[in-house]
A and B are shown apart, each in its own frame.
Chain A
Amino acid sequence: MLDETEEGHVTEDGRQIGGVLMEMRNITLRFGGVVAIKDISFDIRKGEIRAIIGPNGAGKSSMLNVISGFYHPQEGEIWFKGARRKPMKPYQVARQGIARTFQNIALFEGMSVIDNIMTGRLTHMRSGLFSQALWWGPAEREELENREVVERIIDFLEIQHIRKTPVARLPYGLKKRVELARALAAEPELLLLDEPMAGMNVEEKEDMSRFILDVNDEFGTTIALIEHDMGVVMDLSDRVVVMDYGRKIGDGPPEEIRNNQDVIDAYLGVAHD
């Protein structure tokens, strides 16, 4: 069971869960008169798989967009690695070590798979415009070093055969995998996955689940994911946040969430008597 100490704990399957990596404190997000997120607090611990679930329109994606810097909440604080985060632009968030994928695949369609994944290394590349214009020396060395990292990720996700294929020609399931590869290439501390299994068949879902577990296990990456498939969520995640109409109605390990009356009501509806 969950141990609430700062030092963290070890899960049943032997993974190390550390202290708090990211903490959302009393986040409220409004669009004009619409309240998308209302006074939500939760934390994400180092090394865990954290799921955010809820019915359509509950504010899950908005929450992810707040974390990645697309939306700026009107109230509340975001704490990352023990420091309060100032309002920042998405590219600054990326440089802090947060990568993500999108619900609707957001790959660069005009580029090959390898180039797409190489863009993920951007935050690790330093050489300036002039040294790149010359190519010889530092720029080439840096390019080749990063290429090696990218090739390891390609091996890991088993997409060697499509390395040079333009992304536009790939089927949906593979595109999802390439997008995951691009996010992984950044070697993020926190990986946000927005519905990684939307629109997949059972086989593809199994593959993707395996990759998510492997990423968490091998690289120790902390993962926060939004997913609709309850079976997947309950199997994968260490802790689950449940949202409904912008409010938090549940937070805890899967078995606890499964028996939470508010959650059952939100998903199945309540009889009015």
Chain B
Amino acid sequence: MSEQGNLLAIEGLAVRYGAIEAVRNASLEVREGEIVTLLGANGAGKSSILNAVMGLVPVAEGRVVFEGQDVAGQPPERIVRRGMTLCPEGRHVFSNLTIAENLKIGAASRRDKSEAAATQADMLALFPILDERRDQLAGTLSGGEQQMLAIARAMMSQPKIVLLDEPSLGLAPQIVDTIFELIVRLRDRGATILLVEQNVDLALEIADRGYVLATGDIVLSGPAADLRGSGDVERAYMGSH
């Protein structure tokens, strides 16, 4: 069993692509109701951690303990059905489906279709722009709107925890602010969030705790408030740990 209060605990995770070791020995915990951010430069292995947790890439070593059970190596569809989901880097909305269809398929794992419809109404209320364009193809949305759709789609499975991979990627600053406000609102509504970001300042502003990853290792961790003030994060980024 995991430590009490941990919704997700990653223990000694290693991810390899052939001979390349993307993640060496990563451990982190997310407690219920928290926003935890995982920071690190490009190529540090952040996405690899999320993809391995979700079963999209194989776990070479270590455990992924979700609600007290090791889910490492399970297929992504089963992990989603357990209540953990990933909003992938680069948004990956289904551009050939309408917005309504994107949301509908987001709820595919749920048995009760009337509850799923309620969640969809809830999401459309939270993202009015998506409601207006419900029957348009997702490919016609702007980048920020696609990000909103990707988040709304992830929420459709009513996850206990959402892994958000670089939600600010490629978006204009005002849009990034909107997205971050939404992430806070989702947490206020009871969601638990593991946020991977390159935008260090914003991520530490909304997070409760943070971890910094450099070349496959966790080099720094602590409450977001502590990380914010010190120069440690910058130093870790530069690789002088």
Decide whether A and B assemble into one complex: no
